[in-house]
Structure 1
Amino acid sequence: MKKQLLTSLFGLCALTAYASPDTIVINADVYTVDPILPRVEAFAIEQGKFSSLGSNEDILALADNDTHVIDAQGHTVTPGFIDAHQHFNGAQTSLNLYVDSHAKWAELIQKEHESLPKGAWMNGGGWDHTIIDDVLPTREFLDNIVGDRPTVLRHIDGHFVWVNTAVLELANITADTPVPEGGEIVLDPDTGKPTGILKESAMRLIRDLQPPLTVEQRAQNLPKLIHWANSIGITGMHNMSTHEEFLKVLETGDLNLRVWHGYFDVFNSMENLDERVKEVQALQNSIRRQVANTGKQKELGPLFDLGFVKLGNDGVLSVHTAVLLESYKDRNNWNGEWIRTPEDLKTKASAFAKGGFQIAIHSIGDAAVRASLDALEEANQYDVSLPHRIEHVELLNLEDLPRFADLNIVASMTPNHMTKAVAYIEERIEPKRESEAYLWQSLMNSGAKVIFGADASTSTHQDPLKQIGDAIFRTNHSGFNNGQPWHGEQSVTFAQALYAYTQGPASTTTWSDEIGSISVGKWADFVLIDGKISEPLTNDIYQRKVQMTYLAGREVYNANNDN
């Protein structure tokens, strides 16, 4: 009690200009993610910031008749979730094919086909062959349903697409079409013709066929999508996608989301690299001026910044494009294929680091992770104030594990990637290597910083509470491994997972002292859950939902008001 009272008094001293809080939350089970005071019953908010933490008695004593009181009724409250890896924009599609049979694929595709006007393209994604038969589908499957309607369906991993014959013909793709480096046009072994699967950079062959949505169209769609993110408790994200629609919404309305934006440079060539670094610097300065000119950050805190550059060097395990130190168990003499060679990656990472940018590199296979560690070790010679990152780190040679902490490199990982991969991981790697897969707890124990994000539609669920459940239970949702934890020794605790979804991502940005925890002086981003999260955690975490979400002390989602 004494410690709580001192914290409350500190809060009062910190913000003395106001007689009473604007809002208080009482009768709550609060996880602050602040080591000074990790659990409290109540807190107060003034001018959009947490002003005091403590017991119900302490906080109620601060209120007056004008104070808005939220009675949490014993439910759990956490900081607003910060998704550390997203590809979020105003052009996202709604057709989701994450189902467990070909018949269900056909049913959903047929329904979408019938809903579209003649001549319109069909776009969708989420399909996953590994939970059905681990055999890639063909264009003929689509042709039999949609005919000549151009159809592009992205795999749940996001690194390859399934298209029909109409798209191949529009793009003039044949067995003889030159393939961009790091890509593959999958050919039928019997006919020698394209099957309709385009891997990695081969997807660029169809990229310009469809006219993209305008900035105005994307901006019109974005608020609804942000509201959905708020409905699952997300108040911030590290986003690697387009940026223009976010700035448009910020200028013309309310951007109810804090976006740490990553410039996407995965597939750009090595040519004119120095000029591109200057262009990205200019873009960063332009964005900062545009955000500052709105004047909204004074009342709401940080809202948008171009904070890092996204690179990449390999693909994914599901389709054998992640680069491994040893060949795939189910594909002899094949180690994957580089999207960016180790030497080119070093050159690129160092160029952007020299330009002052934080670097994030997509690396899934253990060879790719090693190459990224090498590249970032070289990039560390340049004075960048923020730690560099490696995204995914699904296979990690144990010799490389201590390098994350030693080099101050963040491991940005997706719990659902692991639980999803249980369907195929034992087919891809030898049993002796299983102890090197998805090493969340080992990385944390080594002193490395681990942060979590959903990686957009590459996850079967983007809800942070469900991702936290995956990090703790490590079980597949389709029944693989008999529903048992896969290498449960790498499970994390609820406290560790919550940190990786809140303060962890915040601490890799320039906003570390402003968001990420329920602490006096930070912006009041928080989530009220629809019940109490008990420890030890049970599978109830998968049924828990967000009741309310607040950003800078403002309600941005309330389940009671949601239609």
Structure 2
Amino acid sequence: MPTADLILAGARVRTLDPARPTATAVAVTDGVISAVGDASDVRDWRGPGTQVVRLDGAHLVPGLVDSHSHPVWGLELATGADLSEVTGPAELRAALTAAERVDGWVIGYGLDHNAFAGRPIDRDLIEDVLGDAPAFLRLYDGHSALATGAALTAAGVNGPRAFAQRSEIVCDSTGRPTGHLIEHAAMDLVTAVLPRQSYAERRARLVALLSAMAATGLTGAHVMDGGDLDLVTAVAEETVLPLRLRFAPWCMPGASKEELDALIALQGRGGRHWTVGGVKFFMDGTVEGGTAWLEHADCHGQGTEAFWPDPEAYAAALRHLHAAGVRTATHAIGDAAVRHVLDVVAGLGASGRHAHRIEHIETAPDALLPRFAELGVAASMQPPHTAYTRADGSDEWSRRLGERRADRAWRLRDLRDAGATVALGSDWPIAPFDARTVLATAQAPKGVASRRAGLTGLEALEGMTTHAARAAGEADLAGRIAPGHRADLTALAVDPVSAPADETATADVRLTVTGGRVTHGAK
């Protein structure tokens, strides 16, 4: 073999490669794993310019990948005042009173639906503490927001509108907008007039964010949006991205054949550590927002409609992309949404196996679970979302669904038992990006999902390595520590397979390597 650029020695290596499950040393050449062995092999791998990092017994595993994240678009979502700790109307008012103004605006994010204590989301709750300042507050789910009258006026919004997608400007009985904006098209009316950060600010934030992600052990992310690809292009030319990013731009209802063909043409665009590889659909919204597509209405009589007003149009769009060899990921939270996506993939026949995936799957009946393995559809799930529910079922998610459907929450264990590929992620900025938290909550789900058994430590690790690679169609070059695979590696102070979940959640990250380049730890 050629002389290695990087050697990691003195490690407890868990390769996830059946051909060689364990080792103590790994060699990297030109960004690829060139050898896996033990201490006796290091001398043969080493050359004059080889960097040798001694891990002193740290546990080396394949590089952790967040299978659902928004690190570029999320910079816009996670702007302004962090409202994630607000628990009630009084706290919200206090936080907004103290919030910094940005070009005269108050912008916030991460606001939990539970903070409204079951009351309708209405600008009347906050306008008196804001004076004339326009305000735009994103709710934590990323699918809804609260805007004040001044913000609505700035956006030219003075009543209801019709949209091509399932979206709503909520109005009271007089036709007055309450400020509650549901789904992307409604929110986009106001985001179009928000203050925007400069290129320099966005560049600095992106590099800092990706570096912070690498510090938790992440080596890559499946980016479930198109992001700002011009920004990514520029940053990747100026520096080496700390994470490997795989983008799936959105396909929205009403997409024309020309728009679908443009998405096809985008596939393969990329640079060092980033590429466009897939397309993202939405089949529904969120349970808390009343827009998850359910087989039966929620407790407010909502949730019986798909995000695509004509679900068959979604099927036709997916078939068009599939015929062009494009992989797809579909946001489907409710049971009806999950069923519809599975039905569409079933209609593709054998050619559809292992080419498509479903994101979130927050509630699903028993009958749907074996279909994932039968159809080769990957289940992409975000264990940290379970923390937005409560074990006693008093949260908005559980109350809307009712006990029977809440008992089907985040069926990680059941999907793995049914033979499905289960890829794990965070959905940042909806939930924290820390890879260790994803591993830990996969083993010990929070809130209402804690009623069900979680994954084993090995299964959780596979969810961010081998199963993540499988979900992206990259099983032959990622997800394992084996010669010829990408040199994406994570070293932790504890063994994530055998350590208790709470220890994994706080484990020291000794080293992160992406593409053979150390992005966190020893230099």
TM-score, normalisation: structure 1: 0.83
Deviation at 1:555, TM superposition (A): 1.2
- CA RMSD, aligned part only? 2.7
2:343 match: 374
2:158 match: 174
Contact 2:352–2:376 (CA under 8 A) maintained in structure 1: no
Task: Give the distance between the partners of 1:61 and 1:251, measured in 2 at CA.
Answer: 35
Task: Give the distance between the partners of 2:118 and 2:15, measured in 1 at CA.
Answer: 43
1:495 match: 458
1:280-318 CA deviation, whole Å, 9 max, x = no partner?
233336x25xx3xxxx5xxxxxx2222111111211111
Greater Cα shift, 163-172 or 101-110: 101-110
Contact 2:87–2:112 (CA under 8 A) maintained in structure 1: no
1:195-216 CA deviation, whole Å, 9 max, x = no partner?
2211113223324223655667
1:299 match: none
Shift of the 207–310 alpha-carbon distance from structure 1 to 2, 3 Å rule, reads same
Q: Which amino acid aligns with 2:59?
A: T
Secondary structure of 1:343's counterpart equals: helix
Deviation at 1:501, TM superposition (A): 0.8
Task: Give the distance between the partners of 1:105 and 1:426, measured in 2 at CA.
Answer: 23
Task: Give the distance between the partners of 2:279 and 2:437, measured in 1 at CA.
Answer: 28
Secondary structure of 2:169's counterpart equals: strand
Deviation at 1:49, TM superposition (A): 2.4
Greater Cα shift, 180-189 or 232-241: 180-189
Secondary structure of 2:281's counterpart equals: strand
Deviation at 1:128, TM superposition (A): 0.4
Q: Residue 64 of structure 2: which of 69, 72, 81 is its match?
A: 81
Task: Give the distance between the partners of 1:439 and 1:385, measured in 2 at CA.
Answer: 21
2:234 match: 248
Alignment map for 1:181-260 (pairs within 5 Å): 181-188=165-172, 193-200=176-183, 201-210=185-194, 212=196, 218-239=202-223, 240-242=225-227, 243-260=229-246
Deviation at 1:58, TM superposition (A): 4.3
Deviation at 1:35, TM superposition (A): 2.7
1:191-240 CA deviation, whole Å, 9 max, x = no partner?
76332211113223324223655667644542222212212222211111
Contact 2:373–2:420 (CA under 8 A) maintained in structure 1: yes
Contact 2:113–2:140 (CA under 8 A) maintained in structure 1: no
1:144 match: 128
Q: Which amino acid aligns with 1:111?
A: A
- Kindly indicate whether residue 426 of structure 2 is the aligned counterpart of residue 454 of structure 1: yes
Q: Which amino acid aligns with 2:436?
A: L
Q: Residue 506 of structure 2: which of 514, 518, 543 is its match?
A: 543
Q: Which amino acid aligns with 1:450?
A: V
Q: Residue 470 of structure 1: which of 432, 436, 441 is its match?
A: 441
1:281 match: 264
Contact 2:113–2:396 (CA under 8 A) maintained in structure 1: no
Q: Which amino acid aligns with 1:31?
A: R
Contact 2:439–2:505 (CA under 8 A) maintained in structure 1: no
Task: Give the distance between the partners of 1:375 and 1:429, measured in 2 at CA.
Answer: 25
1:107-142 CA deviation, whole Å, 9 max, x = no partner?
4433332xx35x443333111032662435432343
Q: Residue 130 of structure 1: which of 111, 114, 120 is its match?
A: 114
Task: Give the distance between the partners of 1:276 and 1:433, measured in 2 at CA.
Answer: 37
Secondary structure of 1:547's counterpart equals: strand
1:403 match: 371
Q: Which amino acid aligns with 2:281?
A: L
2:250 match: 264
2:332 match: 363
1:233-278 CA deviation, whole Å, 9 max, x = no partner?
2221111132221111222322232121101113x424xx221122
1:523-544 CA deviation, whole Å, 9 max, x = no partner?
2211222445472524122222
Task: Give the distance between the partners of 2:473 and 2:267, measured in 1 at CA.
Answer: 14
Shift of the 105–59 alpha-carbon distance from structure 1 to 2, 3 Å rule, reads farther
Q: Which amino acid aligns with 1:555?
A: V
Contact 1:314–1:338 (CA under 8 A) maintained in structure 2: yes
Contact 1:314–1:364 (CA under 8 A) maintained in structure 2: yes
Deviation at 1:160, TM superposition (A): 0.2
Q: Residue 441 of structure 1: which of 413, 422, 431 is its match?
A: 413
Q: Residue 280 of structure 2: which of 288, 310, 318 is its match?
A: 310
Q: Which amino acid aligns with 1:319?
A: G
Shift of the 22–359 alpha-carbon distance from structure 1 to 2, 3 Å rule, reads closer
TM-score, normalisation: structure 2: 0.89
Q: Give the unaligned 5+ runs of structure 1.
A: 1-15, 297-302
- Kindly indicate whether residue 17 of structure 2 is the aligned counterpart of residue 26 of structure 1: no
Q: Which amino acid aligns with 1:276?
A: E
Identity of aligned residues (%): 27
Q: Residue 49 of structure 1: which of 16, 32, 41 is its match?
A: 32
Q: Which amino acid aligns with 2:327?
A: Q
Q: Residue 505 of structure 1: which of 456, 461, 468 is its match?
A: 468
Deviation at 1:100, TM superposition (A): 4.0
Q: Which amino acid aligns with 1:241?
A: G
1:158 match: 142
Q: Which amino acid aligns with 1:305?
A: T
Contact 2:159–2:175 (CA under 8 A) maintained in structure 1: yes
2:382 match: 414
Task: Give the distance between the partners of 2:492 and 2:127, measured in 1 at CA.
Answer: 45
1:132-174 CA deviation, whole Å, 9 max, x = no partner?
6243543234323332222211111111011112112223333
Aligned residue pairs, count: 511
Task: Give the distance between the partners of 1:502 and 1:73, measured in 2 at CA.
Answer: 23
Deviation at 1:178, TM superposition (A): 4.2
Task: Give the distance between the partners of 2:362 and 2:372, measured in 1 at CA.
Answer: 14
Q: Give the unaligned 5+ runs of structure 2.
A: none
Task: Give the distance between the partners of 1:533 and 1:178, measured in 2 at CA.
Answer: 49
Contact 1:140–1:165 (CA under 8 A) maintained in structure 2: no
Secondary structure of 2:480's counterpart equals: coil
Secondary structure of 2:450's counterpart equals: coil
- Kindly indicate whether residue 291 of structure 2 is the aligned counterpart of residue 321 of structure 1: yes
- Kindly indicate whether residue 109 of structure 2 is the aligned counterpart of residue 109 of structure 1: no
